[in-house]
Amino acid sequence: MPHCVPCDRFYNPNSLSEQGCCPTCGHQVAEVPEPAKLSRFGHEGAPWHFKLLIAVTVVYLGYRLLQAMAWAVHSI
């Protein structure tokens, strides 16, 4: 938990400024958070196996839709 020595206060990490400074006196009390650690999806995008899963799901659902349409046509 970040602690500001001049103010003698403990802070919630979310209440600090973006640079990890005390909101009252501006003293550096925490390490600067790295944006890469906060969201790896921001610059990497979705992982390849997730895209593969989506592609396979789309192909399967398209196949099932064709099956359903063929069944509907034959059952008339």
| CA-based torsion, 54, 60, 66, 68: positive or negative | negative
Phi-psi region of 49 (alpha: psi -120 to 50; beta: other; left: phi over 0): alpha
Strand (E) or helix (H) holding 24: none
User: Closer CB to Zn ion, residue 19 or residue 57?
Assistant: 19
When the beta carbons of 7 and 30 are compared against Zn ion, the nearer one is 7
- By CB under 5 A, the residues from 25 to 54 that bind Zn ion are 25, 27
Rounded to a whole number of angstroms, the minimum distance from the CB of residue 6 to Zn ion is 5
Q: Rounded distance, CA 25 to CA 16, Å?
A: 11
Task: Pick the stretch among 21-29, 37-45, 54-62, 65-73 that binds Zn ion (CB under 5 A).
Answer: 21-29
Instruction: Using CB under 5 A, count the residues that bind Zn ion.
Output: 7
- Residues lying near Zn ion in the complex (CB under 5 A) are found at 4, 6-7, 22, 24-25, 27
